[in-house]
Structure 1
């Protein structure tokens, strides 16, 4: 699973496991688990399992995500306040629970689309309270977060901010080199050394992640989606999307609307 949602699980009863980053994490009662968006993961469960399941998606604002910047712990221990906050979040968002929990199919269910539509009609007071609760939950994880790229210097930080802010446009390596005050060849070498991938690969990954989110919350045609993300060639966008997600955009969009 490689979802555009960030997920917080709060376990209340039963046994299950989260498979992520090559590790198998037991899901313990009254603990909270955070899985950032676009993090490949899966689950194992061989019996009844009860939990609160919170999915969070970011807006389409042109800015860097905190999950691009920081590594968060997978698990934190809950306390009375956190568990009360989760209960409160559930109570002020009625009708959002899943009638059937299937981690392998949830992102593609009609319930997901219904919940997103309901979110747009939430009274402002409850919307603000919900956001406040989610921020408090995330703040507990943030207390143990570490920089995702601790060796990135100020030049590469400027480049990353430019990429995230301009992900909807064609991004040229010459421009990134100019921002970093380096020659093109030196910039590419330094970017690869500090980010462990080439600038082109990083840009393409972020564009396809943005495409997944855009398909989830807006009804764009594939051609319009490609153009809105700065692709001049729709065929190339289709090939890149399939390479990075395992299916072409039309298949992905169809699954979202099943």
Structure 2
């Protein structure tokens, strides 16, 4: 683990470095070797907190809850401001210097972590390598994820507890990846994604073209498709089809309606075309899907 901060810890803050013996076991255990925490902490109104590392041999994540700070990173020593709701991710090998403002001290959660898939989990966050800072906003569920990791310190000698914490770290990083499109949305007020998706939900029983969706958010068709794909990773029509099939699955689960009726209910007049779309999305036909619900088939065959 990179050298921990020597900042004097006040009673309301927490710094927990995993025992080296446990780190060694996590690094070789098949359930944790891909990703595991090295140190976890919460610093409350951390006036005077500062850290400089020329050598950084693990991964570091900082989530700012209040206050502000500064960071310089990389060989070129780029500088950025860190504010409440910001997430800073410093990959292995990134020299850095961060500190909080005396007049506006930050409160932060932090995690040092490692593992063979650490870089892959960071890559999943889809951050600009030139700007390892993401404005997520304050999310209570994300705070709960950090608190769950901090509970690890209550069981210093039980491997099972640390294996659990390794999987909680997976959950936390994948949760951040899930919040990433929302962060992009906050940075791009010209695109009301919630309005688009509400319109899609309201029109599941019919067809809906891209032009109508673009007009709903006052964008040209070209810019709408481009912005939508940047925010969601897919096209608006693909997402609309996915919503239709999800609705069809629900109807197959909770009603005894025939395939033709369900096709009609999600906007397809041709039941055969509906079945082809359903198979393309789900990998099985509507009747095969219903057979699973009735216990006449398994999930995998």
Q: TM-score interval w.r.t. the shorter chain?
A: 0.3 to 0.5
Using CA pairs under 8 Å that are at least 6 residues apart, name the structure with larger relative contact order, 1 or 2: 1
Normalised by the size of structure 2, how large is the TM-score?
A: 0.37
Larger radius of gyration: 2
Normalised by the size of structure 1, how large is the TM-score?
A: 0.43
